[in-house]
Amino acid sequence: MENPEFEELQERAADAVVGEGLESVYVGLVHHGGEQEYYFGNDVEENEELQEMTVSQLAMLLRVLADRSDATADEIADLAAEHADQMQLQ
């Protein structure tokens, strides 16, 4: 494993997902072979609440990716939007 902290991060994330009081969950997995999985769910009823949760999830992910790469948040967002248009989700 290239990043020795990755296993600890996986464990912390798994513990958080099964924690109490969650209203929104997104987990995106990319495997070594390139296959992708995602799990996205919200415990909200109204469309406006769903949009707010979705925007919060996307913003958190975007901020983390920008902070950990040599790209700006806008560059990451542009690339992600292009990729999302090309994705064939099942």
Residues 66/76, Cβ–Cβ less than 8 Å: yes
* pTM more than 0.85: no
Based on C-alpha coordinates, what's the Rg of the chain?
15
Rounded to whole angstroms, the Cα distance separating 53 from 35 reads 26
Structure tokens at 35: 């296959």
Q: Which residues, given as ranges, of the chain have pLDDT below 70?
A: 1, 89-90
Residues 24/53, Cβ–Cβ less than 8 Å: yes
Residue-wise pLDDT for 30-40, tens only, equals: 899 988 888 88
Count the neighbouring beta carbons within 10 Å of the beta carbon of residue 53: 19
